[in-house]
Copies of this chain bind each other. A is one copy, B any other.
Amino acid sequence: MSNPGTPLGLLLWQKIRSLNTRSIMGVPGDMNLELLDYINEVDGMSWVGNANELNAAYAADAYCRVSGSPGVLVTTMGVGELSAINGIAGSYTEQVKVIHIVGTTSRTAMEKHLMIHHCLGPSPDHKVYEKTSQHVRAAHCWLDNPATAAREIDRVIHECYAQSLPVYIFIPSDMVRLRVPDQPSTGLDLAPRTDKFSRESAISVTLPLLYNAKAPAVIVDGLTARHLGSDVTRELVDLLQFPTYSTSIGKGIIDETKPYFCGIYNGQVSIPGVCEAVEQQSDLVLDLGPLLSDSNTGGHTRSIAEHKLIQVHPHHVSVRGVAYRNIGLVEFLSTLLKSVDESRLPRLTAPGRSPLPPAKDADSDSITQSWIWTRFGEFCKPGDILIADSGTAQFGLPDAHLPQGATFLTQLYYGSIGYSVPACLGAAIVYREQQREGRVILVVGDGSLQLTVQEIGTMVKLGLKNIIIVVINNNGYTIERVIHGPEEAYNDIAVWNHSAMLEFFGAKNGRACTREVRTKKEFDEVASLPEYQRPTSIQVLEVFMDKMDVPWRLQRQIEIINERNAQA
């Protein structure tokens, strides 16, 4: 062959760069160092270097959610690979595109079953760890054959996009520098395969339902964003002008300042009137990208009659109980958008957003759960992203009214505590890459913070500036206290001195950029400071709150579950 080819390591990064992924997460290790060498050879691509692999996986997940391009992380066989797997499982559950590249031992070492560090037991099978991730990935490949390696990369990237799920690429260390034949640059095939007949059938039954509806409603749920349908969804709801609801997971996909936006629908855990409007008063519900997990459905209390429901799933559409298979979500919504005859749509006046019932503790000087979450909404500006960890923030922030162009990021179904800190890093990296205006605002409990705190060091290392870290200090695992064992020691945590946090992680003027507030007045004062309005370095705000105070949504969901358990 006259073609000298491209080193496989370089080819891999070139393919990933073509997806617009520019920052690579991960932790270096002797089995991946040579692969990392090639990152610098690709224009516009750079290595992040996380504090640990779980954090790298979380950051990659958020990178994808915010940028739309796959998050990519590099780890080392076994030790790094397994450290990251919980993050990958979260991406799988929530359908996030992540490419996990694992640097492994050489092919020779594998064949000889050598007891190399990181291997498993005596006479080790060096491929054994690959089996560990088989349930949390859509596809994987071993780049151990120069003849097929390039095709294999394309295959798994296709599956990553088509299924919007994580994939694994295993690369033996001796393969990295090997030159493989260049591929014809036809581009990668990324879209899920759609059955046109099925799509046309679904469209043809959907249109008259839209035209003839008297009280239609739209629910925008999280999987629209995961399957890259945010833009088309925004266009569609703008065209329809039907009363439109988000879910907790879907919050922030559509513009909450529009008159047709009517708040968060979360089954019986909704602001009074919302559940009734969707379930009883509507005659047609267009449910986009539903993810029907417990906390996104008020503890499984959604109840929409099948005869009025059109559900647009990632790979099929269900119209009044009839399933139309093999239709990609974006392709369906795009076709629908083009097919709708605007003049035939019903003209409606949406009721708009219902107010929250007044809180009993509304006159408290101290910061309360009933006050803070809507206050965060007021604090937000267009372009900001609000990131919530598991815990009270996740149940509180659905009440924040987001300005136009602000977004919300949380991991509500998988619900792995600690996710949000590396997610904040991933989001901030995308903001910098894309030179986006806006602040990255992390809201994390003192308990959740402890799992992944070291990623703040990576934020400092990278010189990221537009980050505000709000630590809700309610003295331990409040969400668990209200579930079980309010005064049990297992719901306590180590008491950290957050005023030294930024300084420890190497931030210049770390102390000066760290504040604490206990009253609403103090919060308002800090929130109006220039460094909070337009941060030029990372800010930490510790918000002290009562350890038994919880958002009403959390309280209500727990009541529902307890009632159900009592009946069983």
Contacts and interface: CB of A to CB of B under 8 A. Distances in A.
Contacts of A490: 28, 33, 36, 47, 49
Interface in A35-71: 36-37, 47, 49, 51-52, 54
B506 A300 contact: no
B120 A89 contact: yes
Given A485-B37, A506-B494, A415 B28 contact: no
A27 B491 CA distance: 9
Given A36-B490, A136-B120, A86 B82 contact: yes
Contacts of A349: none
A119 interface: yes
Contact of A49 (B413, B493, B498): B493
A546 to B, nearest CB: 20
A27 B450 CA distance: 11
Interface residues of A, number: 87
Contacts of A86: 78-79, 82-83, 85
Interface in A344-367: none
Nearest to A48: B490
Given A450-B457, A485-B33, A293 B117 contact: yes
Contacts of A503: 497, 500, 504
Copies of this chain: 2
Given A52-B451, A85-B82, A460-B494, A120 B132 contact: no
A28 B117 contact: no
Nearest to A118: B415
Interface in A405-424: 412-418
A30 B132 contact: no
A37 B450 CA distance: 23
Interface in A376-426: 412-418
A338 interface: no
A144 interface: no
A368 interface: no
Interface string A494-516: 11111011011110001000000
A491 B500 CA distance: 26
A452 interface: yes
Given A49-B492, A294-B114, A505-B494, A121 B108 contact: no
A29 B415 CA distance: 11
A222 to B, nearest CB: 13
6 contacts: A33-B490, A37-B485, A52-B450, A93-B119, A457-B496, A497-B506
Given A28-B491, A117-B415, 19 more contacts: A28-B490, A30-B484, A33-B480, A51-B451, A78-B89, A79-B86, A82-B86, A89-B129, A93-B120, A93-B121, A116-B294, A117-B294, A131-B135, A132-B136, A450-B454, A454-B454, A460-B494, A497-B505, A504-B504
